[in-house]
């Protein structure tokens, strides 16, 4: 399901900073699987005007204000093109409530 999905999917491990993405997500952002192994790729590709607000949303999620969010998000690809994406983030917690 993950690899064959027609939508881009990314799974981030917040503790280690690692990222796992499917081929569709890699194609959307014009990156290789190797380039998409770290969550820092989002800082590089998120539109510069949106980085502060994006980081604030993530911090609010991590502090428990909500477990899921949806937004329209701009990325800037390496060739300079802007790509809009409809992004849904879900925070998964273990049985103790840790993410």
Encode the chain (99 residues) as per-residue pLDDT tens digits.
888 899 999 998 888 889 999 999 999 999 999 999 999 998 899 999 999 999 999 999 988 898 899 999 999 998 999 999 999 999 887 777 666
Residue range(s) defining the domain that contains residue 78: 10-90
Assigned domain for 64 exists: yes
Give the count of domains, the chain: 1
3-state secondary structure 15-82: CCCEEEECHHHHHHHCCCCCHHHECHHHHHHECHHHHHHHHHHHHHHHCCCCCEEEEEEEEECCCCCE
Assigned domain for 19 exists: yes
CATH number at residue 55: 3.30.450.20
Assigned domain for 5 exists: no
The answer to pTM > 0.75 is yes
Assigned domain for 40 exists: yes
């Amino acid at each position: 399901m993950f690899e064959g999905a027609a939508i881009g999917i990314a799974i981030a491990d917040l503790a280690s900073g690692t990222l796992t993405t499917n081929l569709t997500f890699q194609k959307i952002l014009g990156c290789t699987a190797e380039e998409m192994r770290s969550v820092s790729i989002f800082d590089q590709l998120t539109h510069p005007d949106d980085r502060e607000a994006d980081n604030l949303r993530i911090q609010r999620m991590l502090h428990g204000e909500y477990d899921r969010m949806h937004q329209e998000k701009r990325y800037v690809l390496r060739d300079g093109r802007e790509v809009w994406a409809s992004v849904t983030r879900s925070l998964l917690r273990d049985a103790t409530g840790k993410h």
